[in-house]
Structure 1
């Protein structure tokens, strides 16, 4: 290595370090519930895995929670093993206890991208707020809709259960106020409708089928598979988009004793037990919220975005115009630019392009391997930032615990007057939804029916790891690909002619959905109000995975909303630092954010 190269390599690293150092590090703020209600046994804090009082459902010994919080603040894993008392399960279950998951990950350092503590989230909705009551109602309603087919989630779907859920949610005070903090997609009157309910908040998520095309379609593989076979080419292997079929109505933790056992940290799953009951040998395309909950129960966290990237690469989707010529992205420019002798007018000047063609394409740089590695690389950074928010800052309780606070027979309001009756008020504020839940459960405990036997993971709710990773991975995809491309086919609907591209007058918008009880894919049987854009389907993919966790009962809407944007900030920061490392070819991209703004990268 020459001295100049050695010095240049060092300078690039210093530049990236200085760039990271000069980012504005935020002031982290929690909502204050942990401190405000400490005297009431920390009712708004995550305490799963500690001992809980069988009467109130609150942590039984406040000093145990204090030891838990102290171990988090100290940041040493051994402290969780030696200093935090946990309930024994030798006489209660044959399967032992669950472990807290990576409680110290948020204090580690990384050598690329924003530091785990240099990004943040707004305080979570606090106890007593209309927003908290509303998002708890949303989680309840999603539990009641787990077996409704997604093709019923639109204006013509015909689902009476979805209509009832919409009407109940629209009657609550937070909806009447117009969702002031974390907006939802609404109709012209500012209310939820069948086309917008539970769809997220970003541009394009309300267009077309509820489920993103990237969770359904495959590639066209000549002589092997069509796009509606749901087979994704992965080298010489294939990924099948179908998921195992969980038994309809297969819900858990609907009685107080079951809830208490799980809340105390018992692992109620046996060896080889996945925590869901599956129809033997049955798989299908994602057809219901329960199917989506199954997907996010077992996914490899970044796999939905890796799959999306494989689909886009295999169909030669257009790259971001800012650097497509570096990647050999032929679909990113009008075809005439590649024809020898063609003239292209730029600012009124005729420029001879004779002999121009892309002779250098991307591979290790700007091409498939670069994009694929970036999609996965951001995931660990996102998880570490999420862990800092989860454990060190917010320590927010999961929906399964908040639901238990509203139980008629176990509500802690009477035992702790300092709560000011807030849990009772919250229950009264969403009483129609609670009544529907109690009718479903067959009791008056207001418990949230869980899609998984073990309930939530063993870490707090806010941030959501899935949603933070979704925000980061999707942002990378939006940076590398031209998000203005639309999903179209030709007049004959040929599989080989279907994909995201710059449409011509001959192209026809298309969208696929599961039908025949999820056994097959078909083009939606009604005209699309607008073509599906790549931006919209990537935003929808992020919303599907994130809100799929809400459908399982393990997260709230605010977990999705704020975590997604934190993941976006992590990905943008990594891309900005990478842009410093290309001394000859410009690395200039632009990213449309989840709020619809455009952020340039590399233009300095």
Structure 2
């Protein structure tokens, strides 16, 4: 090794030690504590815990043998995979489902915060008005599963009924404290959900324009025809924004089927012809642009977790015919080549390959961190299970098994949700069970946090860091893209919105009365993907709300570590958070 190589090796070691020291200092300073809501400890027979994959009692729906749940918890806390193989589980013909990566939160990383150095607040617990409200939201999303997303607006009668029922609940009447929803003000000045605010999320811009982010629909390029096509160029290949059209079938409406699913029996719902679960056209799966909650649930059922954000990145990069289109963050124009006298531009740094790889890489860190929260901290039950507890709340065997306090809380939930449950039972011919969009119900891991939402928070944060989020979606002549606001104003660009109609051959570009910014559409994209899981019946609102912010924290940590790795030109980015603050990332 020559002197130059030796110095480089030493500098590299010094950098890694410095980053580790900075992260260690941050960890000590923040004093992260992992605290659950106490439901597992206070509930008898693990009535409020994740038990999917174990054997369940066919009458009560509770875990059949508490010792198997204790064995599962011991395996979860042990950190090794082999003890999981020894847990007693029901036998069945055909394939069983497996617990998914329960030890991922023990794995270390060399960049970004450690998986155990980020955390989430405890989710709403049994007996809280917030939990009752969250369960009502998931039920109401099932009611709306086949309603057009274009009707999620102020003029919609279809959404008025769910809003009215939700606004009557005590959590809403107290102002949505803790985890705020997007709301409007009624005549008395009180916060209320309206058809234009309900189920939209909680970040800046999510209430502007259509419910669905343009990134779930539009094609790449910056022309009217390319945007309307819904086709995205991915190198020499093409991505189609359409999804298989699921039939209006709902699952787990009978208790025996619910028990079979909880026992871990496989229910393959992969899109294919001949099952009756998906619409067909001449023997082929029918494809559709996303138009309903069921369509969105189908997308998040089968997506690669970073897929929507990779697509968004490809779309934005494809618009960059001019430095005024889909502009990068102004803090690094000297490195990206986006100023008039540039003689060097971005590629491996501050160009396409950099952002494309980073927007997917942060997903791995997010998944490890959220797996630790899911398995080792919270072990929260899924909505499908809480619905079954409500359904069995007056069953004598169930009441005896869960004890008086829990039994009373479940009965109170049933009473508070009586209007919503009446609608569920009328529409789906069930008895308080949650109609599921997926035959297998929820995944084989606990509800809180949500993998999709944590990945959404991380990936969207990276996109917001690299691109100028003040850019506006607009058109001028045949050009349609995100354009710098000063250019849009100077050259009279018309704000637009992207809409899916009954015509699946093309999208529609409509003039918008409101300016739709890149920040709004990226925040909306994160909400769509996260709440799309709620539309399928597998997550609660708090799973989205808290996980999104944990994912953001992970991405900010990774970006900070990258900033420290630049010995010459400074790595500087600005990021608008999901709560509206602005963070500046640069080397110390």
Smaller-chain TM-score range? over 0.9
Match of 2:178 in 1: 181
**Structure 2, unaligned stretches of length 5 or more?**
321-325
Provide TM-score, normalisation by structure 1: 0.90
Task: Check conservation: 1:414, 1:421, Cα contact below 8 A.
Answer: no
Tell me how far apart the structure 2 counterparts of residues 230 and 31 of structure 1 sit (CA, whole Å): 43
Residue among 491, 499, 520 paired with 2:482:
499
CA contact (8 A) 2:471 2:482 kept: no
Question: Over residues 456-490 of structure 1, what are the superposed CA-to-partner deviations in whole Å (9 max), with x where a residue is unaligned?
Answer: 00000001000000000000000011111111111
1:329 shift after superposition: 2.6
Moved more, 314-323 or 554-563: 314-323
1:326 to 329, 335, 346: 335
The answer for the alignment partner of 2:10 in structure 1 is: 7
Is 2:418 aligned against 1:431?
Answer: yes
Note the C-alpha offset of 1:325: 2.2
Equivalence for 1:32 = 38
Q: Give, in whole Å, the separation in 2 of the partners of 1:106 and 1:603.
A: 28
Instruction: For 1:84-95, list aligned pairs within 5 A.
Output: 84-90=87-93, 95=94
Q: Which moved more, 1:561-570 or 1:212-221?
A: 212-221
Aligned to 2:372: 388
Which residue does 1:450 correspond to in 2? 436
Contact 2:482 2:518 in 1 (8 A): no
**Contact 1:31-1:123 within 8 A present in 2 as well:** yes
Query: SS of the residue aligned with 1:359?
Result: coil
Within-5 A mapping of 1:184-263:
184-188=181-185, 189-220=190-221, 226-247=226-247, 249-263=248-262
Deviation at residue 19 of structure 1 after TM alignment: 1.5
Is the contact between residue 312 and residue 500 of structure 1 (CA under 8 Å) also seen in structure 2? Answer: no
Aligned-partner Cα distance in 2 for 1:273–1:311: 28
How many angstroms does 1:118 deviate by? Answer: 0.3
Offset, 1:236? 2.0
Distance verdict in 2 for CA 1:270–1:279, change over 3 Å: closer
Alignment counterpart, residue 67 of structure 1, candidates 67, 71, 75: 71
> 2-side partners of 1:265 and 1:96: how far apart?
9
TM-aligned CA deviation for residue 225 of structure 1: 5.2
| Distance in structure 2 (CA, Å) of the matches to 1:276 and 1:539 | 35
Q: 1: CA distance between counterparts of 2:55 and 2:265?
A: 11
Q: Residues 299-351 of structure 1, C-alpha deviation per residue, up to 9 Å, x if partnerless?
A: 01101000100111111211111112211134xxxxxxx3xxxxxxxxxxxxx
- What secondary structure is seen at the aligned counterpart in 2 of 1:98? coil
Tell me, yes or no, if structure 1 residue 523 matches structure 2 residue 506.
no
1:233 Cα shift?
1.4
Contact 2:465–2:575, Cα closer than 8 Å, also in 1: yes
Check the 8 A contact 2:169/2:416 in 1, yes or no. yes
C-alpha deviations, 1:161-207, integer Å up to 9, x for none?
31101110011100001110100000023100111100000000000
Q: Secondary structure at the match of 1:65?
A: helix
For 2:461, which of 456, 466, 475 is the aligned residue?
Answer: 475
How far apart are 1:235 and its partner, in Å? Answer: 1.2
Does the residue aligned with 1:406 lie in a helix, a strand or coil?
A: helix
Contact kept, 8 Å, 1:485 with 1:534, in 2: the verdict is yes
Give the Å deviation of 1:297: 0.6
| 1:290 maps onto 2:294 in alignment | yes
Distance in 2 (alpha carbons) for counterparts of 1:591 and 1:453: 39
Q: Distance in 2 between matches of 1:195 and 1:528?
A: 15
- Could you tell me how far apart the structure 1 residues matched to 2:355 and 2:79 are? 34
Count of aligned pairs between the two proteins: 562
Contact 1:19-1:577 at 8 Å conserved across structures: no
Alpha-carbon distance in 2 for matches of 1:422, 1:497: 53
- Give per-residue Cα distances to partners, 1:373-417, cap 9 Å, x unaligned: 110010010000000000000000000000000115648335422
Q: Aligned pair in 2 of structure 1 residues 321, 393: CA closer, same or farther (>3 Å)?
A: same
- Give 1:221 shift: 7.3
CA apart distance, 1:536: 0.5
Q: C-alpha displacement at 1:97, in angstroms?
A: 1.1
How far has the Cα of 1:365 moved from its partner? 0.9
CA contact (8 A) 1:68 1:80 kept: yes
Say if 2:126 is the partner of 1:141: no
Runs of at least 5 residues in structure 1 that lack an aligned partner in the other structure: 331-337, 339-356
Alignment partners' CA distance in 2, 1:509 and 1:245: 30
- Asked if 1 retains the 8 angstrom alpha-carbon contact of 2:115 and 2:368, the reply is yes
Aligned counterparts of 2:346 and 2:427: Cα–Cα separation in 1: 55
Deviation at 1:420, TM superposition (A): 4.8
Q: Which range is displaced more, 118-127 or 249-258?
A: 249-258
TM-score, normalised to structure 2, is 0.93
Q: Closer, same or farther in 2 for the Cα pair 1:273/1:508, shift >3 Å?
A: closer
TM-superposed CA distance for 1:603, in Å, is 5.1
Contact kept? 1:112, 1:577, Cα under 8 Å:
yes
Cα–Cα, structure 1 residues 138 and 360, in superposed 2: closer, same or farther, change >3 Å?
same
For residue 553 of structure 1, the aligned residue among 517, 532, 537 is 537
C-alpha root-mean-square deviation of aligned residues, in Å? 1.8
